[in-house]
Amino acid sequence: MNTLNATHDPQLRSWVASANAAGCDFPIQNLPFGRFRPARSSEPFRIGIAIGDQVLDLKATGLVHTDDMNVVMAKGPTERQALRAAVSAGLAEGSSQAAEWAKALQAQSAVEMTVPCRIGDYTDFYTGIHHARTVGSLFRPDQPLLPNYQWVPIGYHGRASSIGVSGQRFRRPQGQTKAPDAAAPSFGPSKRLDYELELGFLIAQGNALGEPIAIADAEQHLFGVTLLNDWSARDIQAWEYQPLGPFLSKNFASTLSPWIVTMEALAPFRAAFERPAGDPQPLPYLDAPANRESGGLDITLEVWLQTARMREAGESAVRLTRGNAREAAYWTAAQLVAHHTVNGCNLQPGDLLGSGTLSGPKPDEAGSLLELTLGGKQPITLPNGERRTFLEDGDTLSLRAFCEREGAVRIGLGEVGGTVEAAR
């Protein structure tokens, strides 16, 4: 596990003034990575680090000599920690590099962001136990959790080509659906379009084909965390998912935050990982003392909605839910890596592992509308009087996240937003 060092010092301040503002997502203790270029340009994307309301061109500092984020991610943990220390020192108040590095800054409002790395493969897991129970109870009241859930991290392989960055606009998907009382399915736009509040774990160093990653080593293979919205067409999903799982209901769009918060930055916000009393303990290949001591992540997660009518009226988004990843996840990121590779599967730098929907135990901690409205049976009413069971055309759904703990500086994961457009 990553340990605390000088880069986490709560007293550390930056010569970039906006990074010292209270509540800032990107103080000097964070230093997340992304890819940017000047807005409205055709320049190649290059690696940047968020600091306050600015982005630092990493190559321009001379600390790296590539614009390929995956090359940086493939470095070993010692090299990654050394890079973080060098960036922190250069951005700290009193740094001799301040004058020169100031030339490498651009305002975040003046740049275009893209997906933070090249994603070769995408696997979406199902780690949210409260989500699994609630959704299971809607479809299987007598057996909400299937027998394997507490033993094996459930996942399916998603579609990397349709992953976009925050700000993504996508058309309402079409497909087959079948009403319970219909004799045959019908084809048309999804009527039960939903969001899924997730974390995305991005792989650093990979492993050779046939060589599993032990859970004790798994965190060395994790580069960082981003916010992920895995949009879902619930009516298409209900008809297609048996026996092989999601397909067209999931592969039309997934949206990522532009920033990767590194595992090193998250060191002050680790939490003990404990199974509830009476639950089976993980098999040995999924268990390790360090994982029990600090495998959890103390990350506050929020969901915000702005409808088209709200936008036209100049009204801000409203918060639908707030929860915490620590209370939602039944499996840790390290366990996902260990399980994914235990059969010899080879992960590569930039591969994305989705956490699955992270819902808390309370209704106002739901990570999807499917849960928040109990499958559409209990519509929610927004402050302007609009009602929602599922997403409508023109809705912009945003996820936000941050880490906050006494004795540490608050850091944020940024925001990931996406807008639903009418079906073609």
Residues acting as catalytic residues: 131
Q: CB-based burial of residue 148 (10 Å sphere; 0-12 exposed, 13-18 middle, 19+ buried)?
A: exposed
Answer for the pair 265, 30: CB distance below 8 angstroms, yes or no: yes
238 sits in which H/E element: helix 234-240
The rounded distance, in Å, linking the Cα atoms of 10 and 12 is: 6
Here the tokens at position 277 are 């009393």
Vertex 348: Cα angle to 342 and 352 (nearest 5): 85
* Rounded distance between C-alpha atoms, residue 401 and residue 256, angstroms: 13
The 8 Å CB, 24+ separation contacts for 273-277 are 273/332
Q: Which residue has the tokens 């992953």?
A: 163
Place of tokens 């004058």: 99
User: Helix count (H) and strand count (E) of the chain?
Assistant: 10, 26
User: Cβ neighbours of residue 161 under 8 Å, at least 6 residues apart?
Assistant: none
- What phi and psi values does residue 215 have, to the nearest 5 degrees? -60, -30
